[in-house]
Amino acid sequence: DEEADAPLYPEVSDSMEPDQVALLLESLPREARAECWAQVPVEQRVDVLVEMRTEARASLLRDFDSQALDQLISDLDAETLIELAESLPEDVVDIALARMDERQREHYERSAQYDENAIGRYVDHQLLILPQNSRVRDAVRLLRRETPLFTQHLWLVDRTGRYAGAVETRALFGQPDHLPLIELEEDEFEPLQATRSLREATEAFEHAEVSALPVVDDSGRLLGRMTQTLALELLHEHYEGQLMASAGLDEEEDLFAPVMRSSRRRATWLGINLLTAFLASWAIGLFEGTLQEVVALAVLMPVVASMGGIAGSQTLTLIIRGLALGQISAANIMPLLRKELSVGGLNGVLWALVIGFVAAYWFSSPGIGLVIALAIVVNIAVAALSGVMVPVLLEKLKIDPALSGSVILTTVTDVVGFVVFLGLGSLFLT
Amino acid sequence: DEEADAPLYPEVSDSMEPDQVALLLESLPREARAECWAQVPVEQRVDVLVEMRTEARASLLRDFDSQALDQLISDLDAETLIELAESLPEDVVDIALARMDERQREHYERSAQYDENAIGRYVDHQLLILPQNSRVRDAVRLLRRETPLFTQHLWLVDRTGRYAGAVETRALFGQPDHLPLIELEEDEFEPLQATRSLREATEAFEHAEVSALPVVDDSGRLLGRMTQTLALELLHEHYEGQLMASAGLDEEEDLFAPVMRSSRRRATWLGINLLTAFLASWAIGLFEGTLQEVVALAVLMPVVASMGGIAGSQTLTLIIRGLALGQISAANIMPLLRKELSVGGLNGVLWALVIGFVAAYWFSSPGIGLVIALAIVVNIAVAALSGVMVPVLLEKLKIDPALSGSVILTTVTDVVGFVVFLGLGSLFLT
C-alpha cells in the first residue's frame, strides 16, 4: 500500500549539534516549528535558541507560555542572556537577571553597555585570570581546577583589574614552581578594544596566531575574551549580511516570515528601484517621436542597457573588493581609472562591432548598426567610469557601496545608455 | 616651495605583517610594484609572496632573475612550496624540492596529491605527535622541547602512523609521570578527511571547539593538521570568490591586471549576457507593430522589466542562502513556493496599482494604466516562481546558483515581462 502523502519534515536526532537543530527549525514552516521544538531535548533548548536567527527565534518564543519562559530563564549565564534579551519581554529579562548570581549579573551589565556591533557585547568570561605577581605554582593549581575551552593563555591583571599581560600555558611545562609568571610573559600581544567593531575583531584574528584574544574596556580593564570560533561565526554572518543587503533583505530574514511582514519589508526596496526605473522611462520618453519613426530603436534598447550594466558591475565588484581590503586610496585611483577605462574601451569597441553588425543585418540598416555601435562604446566607457567613481564616492559619504552601489550604477548606465542611443538615433535616423 | 607632484604610493614599514605588505603590493600599479618589492625586508619576502593572490604574485615573480629565484627557494618548507609551486617554473620547483630535507619533501609529495579544493593540500606539519603507548612524562618532555603555535592537543598515532587519538595539553597538569596518555584521551574527536573540500573544513571548525584539527588520509594515516586561522582565511576567500563570481570575475583577479588579459576575460561574461539581451530584444521585436502604434509602451518597458528583476532577485537571494545553509529540501519547497508567491502576489497588486495610476496619468490613457498593471502582477508572480525554482534546479544540475542564478532569472523576467506587457498592449490598445 503506497502512500502519496507529502514528504514528512526532517526530525531532530540526538546526534545533532545545537546549531544544526537551529538550522533545521529555521527551515520549517511556522506551523511545523512548534511540533519540531517539542522534540528538542530540554537540556539543549537554550543553546538552540541562541544559535537561531532573531526572527525565527522570535517566532518560537511568541508561543511560550509563562511557565515555559520561566523554565527557559531559570539558569542563564550572562552571554546567553545577552543573545536572547532582544527576543524576550523586558520583565522576563529582569526576572532572569534577578536569578543570576552577582558575578554573572555584573558581566551582563558590562556587556549590555556595548551596542550590537561592538566586540564588548559578545565577550565570554571563561578565561583564566591571575594577579600579575603570581608564580608558576599558582598557574598550575588554577589549571588543575578549571578547564575552559581554548585555554592557550593565562591572563594577568593588576590590582584594579587592568590587563597586564599573557602567559602561554605551554610555557609552564618544566618551569620551577616559584618562578614569577611575569618572567614567562609574552610580548607583542595587543588586547582588543571593546568598542571596536565586529569586523575589526575578525580581522585581528586573521593576523593573530592565537585561539582567543583578551578584550579590554576604555580604561584597560579586562572585560573578557573573544575566541576564534566566534570570529569565524561573525565573519560568516558579515558576508551573509552583505549578500542579503545587496537584494535589500535583512540578514535575520526568516525563510518563513509571515507573508504580510515579508511583503512590507520587500516593498521598500521595490519602491526605490521603481524610482530609478521611472527615471529610465523618463529618459526614453524624451525621444517618443524618434521611437515612433524608428521602432528598431525600441527593440534594441535592452541590449544597450544590459551591456552597460554588466560592464559597470564588473568594475564595481572589483572596486568594492578593493575598498573592503583597504587597497584603494588617492594614490592609485587615477591609474586604476585609466586601466578600467582602457579595458572598457577595448571591450566597448569589440562588442560595438559585433552588435553593430548584428543590428545592421537584423534591420537591414547600416545606420542602425552605426548608431548602436557608437552607443555601446560610449555606454561601456561611462560604465567603467561610474564603476570606479560610484563606490569611491559612496565610501566617502560613509554609505556601504555593497548595498547601494549596484542600484546607482545601473541607473547611470540605463539613463546614459538610453539617452545616447536614442539621441544618436534621432540625429542620424530621422 | 609647494610641489604639485602626484601623490606618492604608500611605503612598506617595519611594523607591517606579511599579509599587510601583500595587500599593499597588490594595490600598486605593476610599474610601482618592483620598486616597492625592493623595500620588503629579505627575511619577509617568502611570507609576503605566500600571502599574495596568484595573479599579482605571478606579476612579481616574472621579473625575478635566476639568482633571485635561487635565493627565494633556498630554504622552503613543504607548505610554502605548495603555495608557490603554481607560480614558479617547473624546473625551479624541482630544484627547491631537491634542496629540501627528506621529511619536508615527503610532506610536499603527499600534499601535492590533493587537488586545489581538498583539505589535504593545505595541511601544516607543526604538530606534536606521540606513539599511542606514550606516558605523561614523554608528553611533557616533548612540550618542553618543541612549541608550535596552537598546541591545544597532542596527537597519538599507532605504529603504522594511523591517527589514534587526542590528548589536551592542559589535561597533563598535575598528572603522574608514568600515567599512560591513553587514559587522558578525549573522545568525540572527528579527524578531518584529507579529500573533503575546503568549505566542509571551515564548517567543521564552526562546530568543533578546537583551534586545530587532525587531517587523515583514506587509510586513516595522520597527514598533518588544519588550524582555525586557516579556516578563517579560507572562509574569507570563499565569500570573496562568490562575490567576484557573481560578476563573472575570478577571485584571483589582479586590480592591475594587464589591460589585454583583463579585457579578454571580461569579454566572456559580456558575451553571455549579450545573448540574453538579444533574447529580450527578440521578444520585443515580436511586437514592432504595436510599439509603432502605442509608443508609450516602449517608454514604460524598463519599469516592467525592472520590477520583475528586483522582486525575483529578492526571492533568489533568500533561496540561495537557504541552499547554502542546507535548509531547502523536497519537504519544504512547496510551502516555500506558496509563501513566496503570496508575498509576490501582495507586492504585485500594490505596485501594479501605483504604477498603473502613474502610467494612466502620464499618458492620459486608462488603457495604458490597466495594461501595465496587469503586466506587473504577472511578472512579479513569475519572478517569485523563478526565484524559487531557478536556483533549486541549478543546484540539482550541480551548477552554482550564486554564479549563474541571477543571469538566468533576469532573462526569464525580462522576456516574460516584455511579452506579457506588449502582448496585452496589442490586445487592448491597438
A223, containing H or E segment: strand A222-227
**Which residues lie across from A155 on neighbouring strands?**
A129, A166
| pLDDT (tens digit per residue) in A112-154 | 999 988 999 999 888 889 999 999 999 988 888 776 777 788 8
Asked if B69 contacts B92 with a C-beta cutoff of 8 angstroms, the reply is: yes
C-alpha cell at B346: 501582495
C-alpha cell at A56: 525565527
Name residues whose C-beta falls within 8 Å of residue A238's C-beta, 6 or more positions apart in sequence. A198, A199, A202
Asked if A115 contacts A207 with a C-beta cutoff of 8 angstroms, the reply is: no
**Binning pLDDT at 50, 70 and 90, where does residue A1 land?**
very low
User: What is the C-alpha separation between A109 and A100, in angstroms, rounded?
Assistant: 12
Per-residue pLDDT in tens (0 to 9) along chain B, 430 residues: 444 555 578 888 888 888 899 999 999 998 899 889 989 998 899 999 999 998 999 989 988 888 888 888 888 889 999 989 888 888 889 999 999 989 999 999 999 999 988 999 999 888 889 999 999 999 988 888 776 777 788 899 999 999 999 998 888 887 888 999 988 888 767 899 999 998 888 888 887 778 889 999 999 999 999 988 888 888 888 888 888 988 889 888 899 999 999 999 999 999 999 999 999 999 999 999 999 999 999 999 999 999 999 999 999 999 999 998 889 998 899 999 999 999 999 999 999 999 999 999 999 999 999 999 999 999 999 999 999 999 999 999 999 898 889 999 999 999 999 999 999 999 998 8
Buried b or exposed e, range A98-122, using 16+ CB within 10 angstroms: eebeeebbebbebbbebeeebbbbb
Tell me whether residues A343 and B266 touch, CB distance under 8 A: yes
pLDDT number for residue B242: 87
Give the side-chain half-sphere CA count within 13 A for B155.
26
Name residues whose C-beta falls within 8 Å of residue B247's C-beta, 6 or more positions apart in sequence. A313, A314, A316, A317, A318, B269
In three-state secondary structure terms, A221 is strand
User: What is the C-alpha separation between B204 and B230, in angstroms, rounded?
Assistant: 12
Asked if A395 contacts A323 with a C-beta cutoff of 8 angstroms, the reply is: yes
**Which residues lie across from B180 on neighbouring strands?**
B135
Where in chain A are all domains bearing CATH 3.10.580.10?
A: 129-228
Nearest CA among A312, A282, A302 for reference residue B266: A312
- How is B345-412 classified by DSSP, letter by letter? HHHHHHHHHHHHHHHHHHTT-HHHHHHHHHHHHHHHHHHHHHHHHHHHHHHHTT--HHHHHHHHHHHH
| B202, B339, B400, best to mutate vs chain A, most A CBs in 10 Å | B339
User: What is the C-alpha separation between B135 and B178, in angstroms, rounded?
Assistant: 6
CB-CB neighbours of A66 under 10 Å = 9
| pLDDT (tens digit per residue) in A222-266 | 999 998 888 888 888 888 888 898 888 988 889 999 999 999 999
Question: Which residue in B has a C-alpha nearest to residue A230's C-alpha?
Answer: B206
In three-state secondary structure terms, B17 is coil
Asked if A330 contacts A381 with a C-beta cutoff of 8 angstroms, the reply is: no
| pLDDT (tens digit per residue) in A270-320 | 999 999 999 999 999 999 999 999 999 999 999 999 999 999 999 999 999
Shortest CB distance from B229 goes to which of A209, A244, A307?
A209
Three-state SS string over B293-341 comes to: HCHHHHHHHHHHHHHHHHHHHHHHHHHHHHHHCCCCCHHHHHHHHHHHH
Asked if A204 contacts A190 with a C-beta cutoff of 8 angstroms, the reply is: yes
Average pLDDT, chain A: 90
| A48, A140, A347, A410, best to mutate vs chain B, most B CBs in 10 Å | A347
User: What is the C-alpha separation between A229 and A19, in angstroms, rounded?
Assistant: 13
Place of cell 548602436: A372
C-alpha cell at A44: 539543549
pLDDT number for residue B143: 85
| A262, A408, A419, best to mutate vs chain B, most B CBs in 10 Å | A262
Question: What ranges make up the beta strands (E) of B141-219?
Answer: 153-157, 163-168, 192-193, 212-216
Shortest CB distance from B278 goes to which of A23, A303, A346?
A303
User: What is the C-alpha separation between B83 and A330, in angstroms, rounded?
Assistant: 32
| pLDDT (tens digit per residue) in A168-216 | 888 888 788 899 998 888 876 789 999 999 888 888 888 777 888 999 9
User: What is the C-alpha separation between B69 and B37, in angstroms, rounded?
Assistant: 14
Name residues whose C-beta falls within 8 Å of residue B369's C-beta, 6 or more positions apart in sequence. B356, B357, B358, B359, B360, B361
Q: Which residues of A touch B356 (CB under 8 A)?
A: none
Place of cell 534598447: A301
H helices present in A62-135, as ranges: 66-72, 78-84, 90-99, 102-112
Q: What top-level class would CATH report for the domain B129-227?
A: alpha beta
Tell me whether residues B298 and A298 touch, CB distance under 8 A: yes
Q: What top-level class would CATH report for the domain A129-228?
A: alpha beta
Tell me whether residues A281 and B267 touch, CB distance under 8 A: no
How far is CA B183 from each of CA A147, B19, B48, B138, rounded to the nearest angstrom? Answer: 17, 42, 43, 14
Asked if A60 contacts A49 with a C-beta cutoff of 8 angstroms, the reply is: yes
Asked if B236 contacts B178 with a C-beta cutoff of 8 angstroms, the reply is: no
Q: Which residues of B touch A331 (CB under 8 A)?
A: 7-10
Tell me whether residues A301 and B301 touch, CB distance under 8 A: yes
Where in chain A are all domains bearing CATH 1.10.357.20?
A: 259-428
Is residue A70 scored above 60 in pLDDT? yes
B390: amino acid identity, one letter? V
How far is CA B9 from each of CA A328, B42, B47, rounded to the nearest angstrom? Answer: 11, 21, 22
pLDDT number for residue B7: 53
Nearest CA among B244, B239, B279, B351 for reference residue A274: B351
Q: Which residues of A touch B322 (CB under 8 A)?
A: 27, 255
Angle between helices B330-362 and B295-324 (to 10 degrees): 160
Tell me whether residues A19 and B316 touch, CB distance under 8 A: no
Shortest CB distance from A255 goes to which of B316, B327, B414?
B327
CA-based torsion, B317, B321, B327, B328: positive or negative: positive
Angle between helices A401-428 and A366-396 (to 10 degrees): 150
| A31, A228, A264, A372, best to mutate vs chain B, most B CBs in 10 Å | A228
Q: How are strands ordered across the β-sheet holding B153-157?
A: B129-131, B153-157, B163-168
Q: Which residues of B touch A19 (CB under 8 A)?
A: 206-207
Shortest CB distance from A23 goes to which of B228, B292, B326?
B326
Tell me whether residues A170 and B270 touch, CB distance under 8 A: no
Helix, strand and coil percent figures for chain A, each rounded to 5: 65, 10, 25
Q: What is the dihedral of CA B367, B371, B372, B376, to 10 degrees?
A: 150
Tell me whether residues A270 and B322 touch, CB distance under 8 A: no
pLDDT number for residue B120: 93
Shortest CB distance from B302 goes to which of A243, A277, A329?
A277
Where in chain B are all domains bearing CATH 3.10.580.10?
A: 129-227
Shortest CB distance from A211 goes to which of B150, B280, B295?
B150
Say how many residues make up chain B: 430
User: What is the C-alpha separation between B160 and A393, in angstroms, rounded?
Assistant: 61
| A314, A414, A430, best to mutate vs chain B, most B CBs in 10 Å | A314
pLDDT number for residue B203: 86
Question: Which residue in A has a C-alpha nearest to residue B29's C-alpha?
Answer: A335
Q: Which residues of B touch A388 (CB under 8 A)?
A: none
In three-state secondary structure terms, A374 is helix
Shortest CB distance from A306 goes to which of B244, B277, B346?
B277
CA-based torsion, A166, A172, A178, A179: positive or negative: negative
**Binning pLDDT at 50, 70 and 90, where does residue A7 land?**
low
Taking domain A259-428, whether its CATH number is 1.10.357.20 is answered by: yes
Burial of A216 (0-12, 13-18, 19+ CB in 10 A): buried
| pLDDT (tens digit per residue) in A319-368 | 999 998 889 998 899 999 999 999 999 999 999 999 999 999 999 999 99
Q: What is the dihedral of CA B32, B38, B41, B43, to 10 degrees?
A: 110
Q: Which residues of A touch B310 (CB under 8 A)?
A: 248, 269-270, 273
Asked if B247 contacts B269 with a C-beta cutoff of 8 angstroms, the reply is: yes
